[in-house]
Structure 1
């Protein structure tokens, strides 16, 4: 089944706060939830969310001690700002407990690999948080005590009240002050995100297209011959397309903008190169062979909420990657 949108939506599962703040991940997807809360879809980790594309900007060189070296009181420095070893170790331990609670055997090769990945992700999340805090200071963004207290009360109420909240703190090994600092970081990140993404437009040029997917070039040429001979595109799609999702609708892909991977890149390129009513030649993609037709074109069509959210996510991811590429990062904790 060729579910084009499902791939994009999987890539979109990157909550900004959870990608940037491992402390928030601990509250919502880690060891335990506040009573009454439900875990959201597992987001992409910070380490994955900020990896540069192949051929793109490279990360700054970090100072990494050899395994077995004496561990000091600082896990990393970000532009001179220290990340305490105690903070790193506590959050890493909480995730280690979470893995154990999920019945992951940490003595196996798979368990050791998962633990190593978590170790890297925790450190990357703390580095990103430091970058966000530094950017917030440059932007003049700060969190007032009133804002923090309102978020605390909101979170406690959502979790079922003070008694359940205190029980959750005890179970999670988090002090009230640590919890407040986690929420302060969450609020700060929200405000930085809003600042960074404020210029992302909610409209874009979009095309409404349909396609026929075939398993072989010969079949694609046959479909193209029938269309060029005057047969209805939708009829040919219903009879020949291998795309089980769009076949019944005559291959209809709906509207989509550039650059969001709503459809395979090859289909997007072909569609935006066509005028309304035109039919492409055979288009090869990793999924097979396609025939594409454009039905409509709109210069400033409002973006669907999920696509708009994805564009804002991409803008923030790009911004965060730029901050990381420009930063002086020293990793002082052994990563093995």
Structure 2
């Protein structure tokens, strides 16, 4: 997965993070100034402190009010979407298997060092647990199955697509790369000499590399797809002729400077059987013909009478969405 795809995936599930937050509010107790004892007041529910700053309390009511103001409408709408989608899935006897969820997660985790690294980033960026990430994958898979349940794609259409898009199904390589960026060819050669003398690549990168992003990680770029547009193409071009464990350089860079590169590992991905390719193409072509998924969610909300109710101090209004 490229950095662009990672960002898109984060955008897709960030709303789910908010839904999960609203659906499982946890009152944080004990954040009061030292020596202060706060007893809950049944007549003033929601006034319990959940946080404090400089001696001033933030109450549960204030917290919830701000959450509702910022994302309340979207969160409620997504909660209704989930209820409507799973009601329709039950009516159509549609199920998503654990293997399908695992396959979706594996696809989304491409470009990370491991699935654990992917889950770690989802936790760091969005505060999502692995269970919550898998729940979102299950929801998306269920919605897609509903969208295409009555769409038939002919064998001829599948054959034609495969013939016209052969490159999509060719196995790709991913490189686990590390590099040391240097100012001149001479400095790159000196680094190579030190590596030949047995010095550790990671420690040398921390000492010498000009790249601020990777230097303190021992020069690690991570697991990079062979056509990643965010990695210097000179590195990817050189990697094509190398094997795991090789060190290469000096490599001239278009944006100035030179690089010494280490191939830590090479992984092949996307090796699919003919049957797997046909299943994937059938689903993609069917989704192309289906209504957009957001439109499908709206139709299902209408079908099951989903209703958003907002309340102000003076009146109560209901909106059918």
TM range (shorter): 0.3 to 0.5
TM-score (norm 2): 0.34
Bigger RCO (CA 8 Å, 6+ sep): 1
Higher gyration radius (CA): 2
